Structure 1
Amino acid sequence: MIPPPTNIGSKARRSEARARGKLRGIGIANPIEIAGGPVASPNPEFARVEISPAGKIRIHVGSMDSGQGHGTAFRQIIADRLGLDTEDMEIVTGDTHEVPRGTGTFGSRTLAAAGGAIWAAADTIIERLKEHATARLEAHRSEIVFEHGIYRVDGRNRAVSFAQIMAEQAGPVSAETFVSNEGATFPNGCHICEVEVDPETGHVELVAYSVVDDVGHMVNPLLVKGQITGGVAQGLGQALMENAVYDPHSGQLLSATFMDYAMPRAADMPGVEVVGYPVPTRQNPLGVKGAGEAGTVGALSAVMSAVSDALRPFGVRHLDMPVTPDRIWRCLKTQPVKEPSA
């Protein structure tokens, strides 16, 4: 199917779809969620940063990575703060001998909580080495400022890198923290979804999906886009196909494997357009708000609203998730057709 031009209005796209025998609908959602709570007293997280004179770094973190790319973001935090090479960094998680405590990964908290703890540990090391920088730069401690891996004398053209100061140390330097952020954050955004429904079969096709999200400062925009796109896929699955089915007589679960339980595949997803609108928060030193659930929170209502809008000519006002082809087909066969309102 060749999609209609995107530069025509939604009414024109709806008319073009009807000419092809399809019902087109649009759904808009403005989600906002809490991340990294509770609101006034977020749970703390553990981090330990160890740096050798040669610049080798071990970052111990209490939060576990299950595919989100935490290690990449953690390395970037240290690289941006201390000016060190990400290739020389090792992430240690899940080992209770080396990581004595931790709160964990949940509630879109990891980059704010664990990232904030890593930042705090790095700050402790920066302050600890400031005396060495003071001697090297022949300045008073109060004159020394630190930015992006450089100690410099405020207002004067004298500076030395963190790596240079670290190389002069007799042995490794380390610091550990178990800290909380100032408060929870509230990532928010806007999701716009367009679908086409085949009234003969009840099949729903996502033809366009756009997201504008404010997840605060984006340490790694590519990871954020991947998180949001994956979240949209999860929301799509719940809205259109994923369902736990039980035998009404025995209570036996009938959709216990992926042979029977439907989930989205690549062919079910349109090219999701994700645009960042970052407004950094003051609740943590990184300015991040959390992105782990952002895609799903908006997708559920955006997809369901789009399907409901497509079925509006049939007088349909409510459908339960998942809106499977069978449910839509049965609904259309029992509703009188109405002309769409202007």
Structure 2
Amino acid sequence: MKHPSPYNTLQSYLENSNFRKVMVVCDERILQLHEEFVRIHFADNQHTQFFFFPIPVTESHKEMSMVMQLLDQLLIHHFDKNHLIINLGGGIISDLGGFAAAVYKRGIPFINVPTTLLGMVDAAHGGKNGVNFHHLKNGLGSIYFPQQVFIEPLFLYTLSDQEWLNGFAELLKTALIGDAELWYKLELWVLGESLSQLRSRISAQVIKQVANIKNGLVQQDPQDRGVRQQLNFGHTIGHALESLHLEKETELPHGFAVAAGIYYETELATRKGILAINQKKRVQRVIQRLYDIPQLDQSEQSRLIHFISQDKKNKNGEIHMSLISEIGKGIHGVPVSIAEIESLFRE
């Protein structure tokens, strides 16, 4: 697991580290959008040589073929366990680059510098990484922790509204499982303010607060065998929706899939007698204010059930979900039947 850093910024970390070679795995758009940041932080000097591996950030590129190309570059440039990978981008970048770091020579150091809200509040933390496999979301992966995660809020200003909402869904999820007070603030802002006003509310302090909730669960359960699974609220159905779109070769952003997952899994929690109806309605109202909830035809429902049956939380062929018992309190390991899931899409 990562340790507290004596360095407050990425720049001080690099200046005080002894890495002779650094591979920057990056969202290809970052090289144009933040040219000055790249020039200041990643210019070759007498101590360090930088290499770049830019990637188009779509789920279709989050595959083993892309990992193999990255591993080839590490080998060609003679990277070893004393060198560093920097993942500069959103969740796709940290997932793919972290996986490559985990498997190359049985593990080399890496750090994450998230450039999206999704990365800052969720994907860059916790050590989970991986790639899609046969249309299965994150079907291959490992748990391998970054040495550090550096949050640079300047990246938020260039995010489109869609990309910002992609990350905001994970922020909502984390509040729902771990901080009722934060959730009620978010609810007030979502229902009472414009999107531009809402964006201005999500400060570096809020991002740190949300990341700390996740990191607290990770520290209790680093290998994701118990309480950490609460972080998967919204993800059983959310990941299945993403897999469905991968199969259809269409894009569904992760956060939008998670938002739909929260909507449906909140409904499920109420039907199972776990969550009060009035709390379900409050959650669903917030989700519907910002996100479209997909409706599935019979064929799509069948494929969704297929992907849910492949979920990593399942045990001995039985579907298990992470839900909420009340706003601010997550639970995990809840057995769910296929009939219960199917009923969600009939009404």
TM-score (norm 1): 0.23
Q: Pick 1 or 2: higher relative contact order, CA cutoff 8 A, min separation 6.
A: 1
Greater helix proportion:
2
